[in-house]
Amino acid sequence: MSTLLAVVHDDDLGMAYADHPADRRRHQLAVALARGAGVLDSPGVAVVPAPGPMADDMLATMFAPAFIRAIKAFSARPVLAAAPEARQWGVTGDVHPYEDMHRDSARLAAAAWVAGEMVGTGGVLRAIVPAGGAHHGLPHKMSGFGVYNDTAVAIHALRASGIQRIAYVDLDVHHGDGTQGTFWNHPDVLTVSVHESGRYLFPNSGFPDETGGPDAPGSAVNLALPPEAGDDAYRLAMDRVVVPAVRAFRPEVLVTQCGVDHHHADPLSHLRTTMAVYPYLWAGLAGLADECCGGRWVALAGGGYDPCNAPPRAWAMLMAEMARVPMPHAMPDDWPSIATLAGCGSPATGWFSEPDLHEVLARSEDTLNAVGEAIEATRQASALLA
């Protein structure tokens, strides 16, 4: 196999909501930074242009035809999204319907399908869609900032390629409810989500007792962390929940949603992780892919809503890990100018540089106890971890 990693990317891929947290600069800068660090020029790495929008008949194999028609109607006339009936399709103020909403989401779906298909058919060992990671939508409803759930599309593509057992790991600060719901009753798809508890954060789900449908008991694993949990909580989550659950499931391919919106500078969450935790998480996922799946791995980037801070650095590190390329000690010389041209006022000067972390790193005893209790609750609820 000549291609180790395919990066499915175009700078104009992704949703283009006006004045919205889902800013295309997140993945544009991540790819630019990975390129500047030499990752994309490494042997075995290929940048694959994103395809055009997925055709309606193909989308309809995964999403309700009436839902697709509704999204196309709201895209053609965004004013229709203000009508009460739009709510049945999940259209809310979070997504600001716009003229190319269907097209842009159908392109993301197509990119995720290509990534899954390439890995599933053996064309590449690993693939990443830096603009992907929409994980809240269901087959009949959009949710969060996404329309057509592209993490679910990647899994569908793998299944269509003949892959039987797939483990999906979601590290986004928000529960991966849509992907869990899509495969709730599929015993051959494991969904593992580590997130801030739904008691405090959208989508208000993802509790330990959500363990799979009647025909797939134990196929869902949820770790709901308390606010301010921090880096050590994510490290424990990998060691005590993610790794043992995936090992026990014995998948053929690993699919991951690698959101970094738990970073302390993110405006939409409260878990307060730092840049230091991301290499640990990415290495843990890479180890699982190698140990359980012969290296086969599909990654979607996910959340991260401070576009100039954590997402570019964390996802460039992710691409390096997937490509088995060591990161240079210093960031590329042209990074400050690239980030400044993208509208970043104070670009990071180092891979792990942060503002004063004293307050960010502080943890109360109550928080530490709550983290331990959350992990234990998940382990008790999951048949894979018993």
What are the catalytic residues? 136
Half-sphere exposure of 116 (CA within 13 A, CB side): 27
C-alpha–C-alpha distance, residues 182 and 200, integer Å: 23
Residue whose C-alpha is closest to residue 53's, from 110, 135, 14, 2: 110
How far is Cα of residue 290 from the mean position of the Cα atoms in its chain? 20
Please, which residues have CB within 8 angstroms of residue 153's CB and are 6 or more apart in sequence? 54, 62, 109, 112, 113, 116
Please, what is the Cα angle at 304 between 316 and 75, to 5 degrees?
Answer: 110
CA distance to 45, 117, 305, per residue, from 324 (Å): 10, 21, 27
With H, G, I as helix, E, B as strand and everything else as coil, classify residue 295.
coil
Distance in Å from the first CA to the final CA of the chain: 38
C-alpha–C-alpha distance, residues 137 and 143, integer Å: 5
Instruction: Find out whether 101 and 81 touch, Cβ atoms under 8 Å.
Output: no
Instruction: Find out whether 230 and 201 touch, Cβ atoms under 8 Å.
Output: no
Tally helices (H) and strands (E) across the chain: 13, 8
C-alpha–C-alpha distance, residues 34 and 301, integer Å: 14
With H, G, I as helix, E, B as strand and everything else as coil, classify residue 33.
helix
The pair of three-digit structure tokens given for residue 202, joined into one six-digit string: 């959208």
How far is Cα of residue 75 from the mean position of the Cα atoms in its chain? 25
**Which DSSP state fits 72?**
H
Amino acid, single-letter form, for residue 241 = V
CA distance to 131, 253, 319, per residue, from 299 (Å): 10, 11, 9
**Which residue(s) pair with 143 in the sheet?**
146
